[in-house]
Amino acid sequence: MTAVDTTAPDPDLTAADVAWDLEPLVDGEGPEGVAALMAAGEAAAEKVEAYRGRIAELSATELADVMGAMADMNDAVGRAGSYVSLRFSVDTSDPERGAAMQRFQEEATAIGTRVLFLELEWAEVDDDRAAELLASSELDFCRYYLESARRYRPHLLTEPEEKVLTEKHVTGSSAWSRLFDELTSAIVVDLPDGPTSLEQGLARLGSPDHEARKAAAEAVTAGLAPGLRTRAFVFNTLMADKATDDRLRHYDSWIASRNLSNQASDESVQALVDSVVARYDIPQRWYRLKAQMLGVDRIADYDRMASVAEAEQEFGWSEATEVVLDAYGSFSDELAGVVRTFIDRSWIDAPVRPGKRPGAFCAYTVPSAHPFLLLNWTSRRRDVLTLAHELGHGLHAYLAREQGIFHQTTPLTLAETASVFGETVTFGRLLADTTDPAARLALLAESLEGQIATVFRQVAMNRFEDAVHTHRREVGELSVDDFGDAWERTQTAMLGDAVEITPGYRTWWSYIPHFIGSPGYVYAYAYGQLLALAVYARYEAEGAAFVPAYLDLLRAGGSMEPEALGRIVGVDLSDPGFWDGGLAIIDGQLAAAEAAARDAGRL
C-alpha cells in the first residue's frame, strides 16, 4: 500500500487546477497558429499600404475600407500577440516562450511600420475636410478613434523618423521592460519555512503575527538585494529613453504624454494629485488607529497590511468564486452570467507558479476573442476581492466587444471604474453577511486599506516617479541611494510620523512593474478609484434603477470622450470638486472602521 502524502496542499486552496486555455486565440493551432495570424496581419497591412499618399483625397467609403483593413490587421496581430504574451506571463523563465515573445514583437513592429503613414497623413488632413468625413455613418465603427488620433498632431514626427523610433523600440524600451519582468519573476524570498516567490513573500505581510511579518519583510528585502543595481540601471535607462522621446516629440514634462493618452489635461491631473496629497491625514489617521489595535506605539512599514482579524481566514477557489458570483448576481443577473462564463470556460489562470509574472491583470485581447485573467492565488480574503476586481475589468472588456477593435478600450483614467465597482459590490456583499463585530472590523479594515493603497499609495508613487524622472532629466543617472532617498521621502510624506520607515524598505521601489512598463500610469488608479466610488454612490442612492445606465457605460467602452462616458452614469468629471467628494467617501469609511473597532473592543 502506498502511503498518502498528507502534507500536500489542498488544490482548492491553491487553485491548482485553475489554468487558462489560450488555444482558441490561435484556432487550436499553437505556435503554427501564430504564424498564420501574422501572415493575415501582413496581408491586411498590404491593403492599407495601397492607399499611401492618398488619405487626404479619400471619400468616406474609401476611408472606411482603409479602416476596415486596419481592423483586420489589428485583430490578427492582436490575437497572435495575446497568445504569445499570455503564454510568456505564466512562465517567464522558459527560453522558448521568451524567444517567441521577441519574435512576435519584431514581426509586429515590421507590420506596424508599414501602416505608420496612415496616422501621419490623417493628422495632416484639413480640419474642415476631416469633420466632413467623420460626419458619415460609414465611419461609425472608428469615428471616435479617428477624432482622438488628431490630438497627437503636435507630437508626430516625419514618417522616416517614426519608423526608426518604432523599429528601435523592439530592442530599446520593450527589451528593457522584458528584462525587468524576467529579473523580478526570478526573485526568491527565503522565508523561515522555505524559499518562495516574491508574490508569496509579500502576501505574508498580511499575517496577524508581528514576528511573521517582520521575518517576511526582511526576507523580501534580502531577496531584492542581489539584482538591485541591475534593476536600478534598467530604470535609469528607460527614464533616459523616455526623456529622449519626450524631447523629440515636444512634450513639456515627463507626464504630459501619459496625460494626453489618458485624455486628461495636465491641470486636471495635478488637481487630482493635489487633492489626494491634501488628505494624507486619512492614511495617517488609519495607521495610528491600527497601532492602537495592534497594541504598539507606532507600526512599522511592514505592519501596514497586518490583518486585524483574530485569525486569518483562508478562502479556497470554489468558495471564493461563489462569493463573487453571488455579489455580482445581487447587482445584475447578466453580469453574474458572464462571470460564470469566465470561471467555467478556462479564461482564468490562478495558481502561483515558479517563473510566473507577479500580480494580477486582465488582458482584453481583441473583440473577436474574449478577455483572460491572470491571478496569483494565495487563498487570502484579499485574493477574493482581487478576483472581483479583475473580473470587473473582464466584464468591461467583454461587454464592450460590440464597439469593435477601435473603441473597445477606455483611457486608463476610466479603465479602473468597472473593476473597483465590482470589488466594492463584493465587499458590500461580504459585509452585509457579517454580523460578528470582530469579523466586521476585519472586513472594514481590509476595504479601507485597499482604498488607501489604491488612492494614497498610488499618488505617493506618482510623486516618487515625478521625483526620479525630474532628477534623471536635470541631474543625471540615479544611484541606488538616490532612488531610495526619493522613495523614502515620498512615502514619508504620505505616512507622516504614523509609520516607521525601516532601512530595508528603501529598496522596495525596485520590484514595481508600472514604473518600468507604463511610466506615469499609477495616478490612473487613484483617478479610477475615486470615480468608481462616485459611481457606486449613485448606485446606493438609486438602487436597481441605476443598473441599466451602468451596463450602458460598460458597453460603451472607449467610444466617446471620458466626460461623456461619465455623464452616462450621472458623474461630472469636469467638476473641480469631484475628487473631494470621493475622498469624503473614504473618510466616511474610516469613521465606520473607527466605530467598528470600538464595537469590537479593540480600543
The residues spanned by each domain of the chain are 23-171
pLDDT of residue 572: 86
Q: What is the mean pLDDT of residues 430-442?
A: 85
Tell me which long-range contacts 172-176 makes (C-beta under 8 A, separation of at least 24): 172/241, 173/238, 173/241, 173/242, 174/105, 175/102, 176/234, 176/237, 176/238, 176/241, 176/516
pLDDT of residue 311: 62
Q: What is the mean pLDDT of residues 186-206?
A: 92
Largest separation between any pair of C-alpha atoms in the chain: 84
What pLDDT, in 10s, does the model give residues 469-508?
Answer: 999 999 999 999 999 999 999 999 999 999 999 999 999 9
Higher-scoring residue by pLDDT: 268, 353:
353
pLDDT of residue 428: 87
Q: Which CATH superfamily is domain 23-171 in?
A: Oligopeptidase f, N-terminal domain (1.20.140.70)
pLDDT of 197 above 70 = yes
Q: What is the mean pLDDT of residues 343-371?
A: 95
- And the C-alpha cell for 52? 499611401
Q: What is the mean pLDDT of residues 351-364?
A: 93
Q: Given pLDDT bands bounded at 50, 70 and 90, which one contains residue 286?
A: very high
Q: CA 576, 548, 571: angle at the middle one, nearest 5?
A: 5
Q: What is the mean pLDDT of residues 530-534?
A: 88
Q: What is the mean pLDDT of residues 111-136?
A: 95
pLDDT of residue 3: 44
pLDDT of 8 above 70 = no
Question: Three-state DSSP class for 376?
Answer: strand
Q: Given pLDDT bands bounded at 50, 70 and 90, which one contains residue 5?
A: very low
pLDDT of residue 395: 97
What pLDDT, in 10s, does the model give residues 52-106?
Answer: 999 999 999 999 999 999 999 999 999 999 999 999 999 999 999 999 999 999 9
pLDDT of residue 429: 86
Contact yes or no for 385/348 (Cβ under 8 A): no
pLDDT of residue 112: 94
Q: What is the mean pLDDT of residues 289-315?
A: 88
Q: What is the mean pLDDT of residues 415-444?
A: 88
pLDDT of 238 above 80 = yes
pLDDT of 318 above 80 = yes
Q: What is the mean pLDDT of residues 519-523?
A: 93
- And the C-alpha cell for 71? 481592423
What percent of the chain has a predicted confidence (pLDDT) above 90? Answer: 78
Higher-scoring residue by pLDDT: 546, 429:
546
pLDDT of residue 7: 57
Higher-scoring residue by pLDDT: 206, 360:
360
Q: What is the pTM of this model?
A: 0.81
pLDDT of residue 29: 95
Q: CA 35, 38, 42: angle at the middle one, nearest 5?
A: 140
Cα–Cα distance between 593 and 445 in angstroms, integer? 6
What pLDDT, in 10s, does the model give residues 381-395?
Answer: 889 999 999 999 999
pLDDT of residue 4: 42
pLDDT of residue 267: 85
Closest CA to 473 of 173, 157, 255: 255
pLDDT of 193 above 80 = yes
What pLDDT, in 10s, does the model give residues 139-180?
Answer: 999 999 999 999 999 999 998 998 899 888 888 999 999 999
Question: How many other C-beta atoms can be found within 10 angstroms of the C-beta atom of residue 564?
Answer: 12
Question: Distances in Å between the alpha carbon of 232 and those of 239, 507, 510?
Answer: 11, 10, 7
Q: What is the mean pLDDT of residues 434-438?
A: 85
For the chain, give the mean pLDDT.
93
Cα–Cα distance between 84 and 458 in angstroms, integer? 30
The residue to which cell 514581426 is assigned: 107
